[in-house]
Amino acid sequence: MTPPLPSAPTLPVEPGPPLTAAEQERFARQIRLSPLGELGQRRLRNARVLVLGAGGIGSPVITALAAAGVGRLGVVDADVVEPSNLARQTAHDDSSVGHSKAESAVATARRLSPGIDARAFPVSFTAANADALVAAWDVVVDGFDTFGSRYLASDATTRAGVPHVWGSALGFDGQLSTFWSRAPGGGVTLRALHPEAEDAADSCASVGVLGSLCAAIGSAMASEVVKLVTGVGTPLLGRVVVHDALDGSWTELPLERRVPDVPAPAAVAGAVTAQELRTRLAGGAPLTVVDLREDSEDRSIAVPGALRLPMSRFDPADLPAGPLVLYCASGVRSRIAADRAAAAGISADSLVGGAAALRS
């Protein structure tokens, strides 16, 4: 059964402080739209939006939201930019090849909107970290290209009660919708559209995809975010839009509003690198770091604010609730502790290489 949901974001987002003169000039054409106005622009500036995937779909979402004035933007993507990406992944250019997609996209967002709080998460989106990654955001945008990742996003946002803007593009066909387990008038999730997460054999790598189709779907998804954040217009809740780029048609299909049960998050003994830990700490999402070293050990290298719990007295029952990272001197004991925690039904990540990895 679906576990009880935590507190969900309140939408539309509360407006931030009055706009500066520079912001009024920058967003003048958008502010002039009477349903949006300056109040809507202040809501955008106060919004926190997480984009999963900085590829063909995620790229236009990222650039559109940054240019629109979203105040905090997070980007999750573990891949690096390849030359074959550049024809459709517009958040990157030739100088990005070989670099992290998440970091490249964040750099682009900062160029488009110098005042934005843009954060890169160059990590894989997995069952071990999905709930923690989506928890601190008002809206999550899903630009993944596999059903497995999409269902991880759907289930995590369902548990968190966070809106989930979804889209896909393959060949000349694209589709998009907005899901929200706590939507006014009745929730709806990806599992109402596709009950089972089964990846098709086709992908953009094998079939191909039209670059301009990705831009069209991504831009429409960005508009969904703007509507959710500002309260202007009607999001695609209970509706799926299908676009055929060959004949130019946009077709709307009804979708029954329902929230099928999602599995409770499985207890996982995961692993994080030192760089991934730094990224998560800088991202601001809830995280408890646990230092397993004994009192007699060298502690000159340590994570500030870490909880002290020596391995000789380690009991999973003593771990606090929420996302956890365990570390010791070299990573051996923390891996054992993470396995013990998972056996007790508690997910925890072990820091690969331990405190020694934090030196570099």
Q: Catalytic site residues?
A: 204, 328
Pair 176, 23: CB distance under 8 Å:
no
Residue 337's alpha-carbon distances to 130, 252, 293, 299, in angstroms, are 21, 51, 12, 19
Single-letter code of the amino acid located at 109 = A
- Give the separation between CA 66 and CA 107, rounded to whole angstroms: 11
User: What H or E segment, with its residue span, contains residue 291?
Assistant: strand 288-291
- Give the separation between CA 313 and CA 288, rounded to whole angstroms: 18
Q: Which two tokens stand for residue 145?
A: 């290209």
Would you call the peptide bond into 12 cis, given omega within 30 degrees of 0 as the criterion?
yes
Q: Which two tokens stand for residue 124?
A: 């894989």
Residue 283: phi and psi, rounded to 5, are -70, -20
Degrees, nearest 5: CA angle 276-279-281: 110
Which residues lie below 8 Å from residue 315, measured CB to CB, with a gap of 6+?
A: none
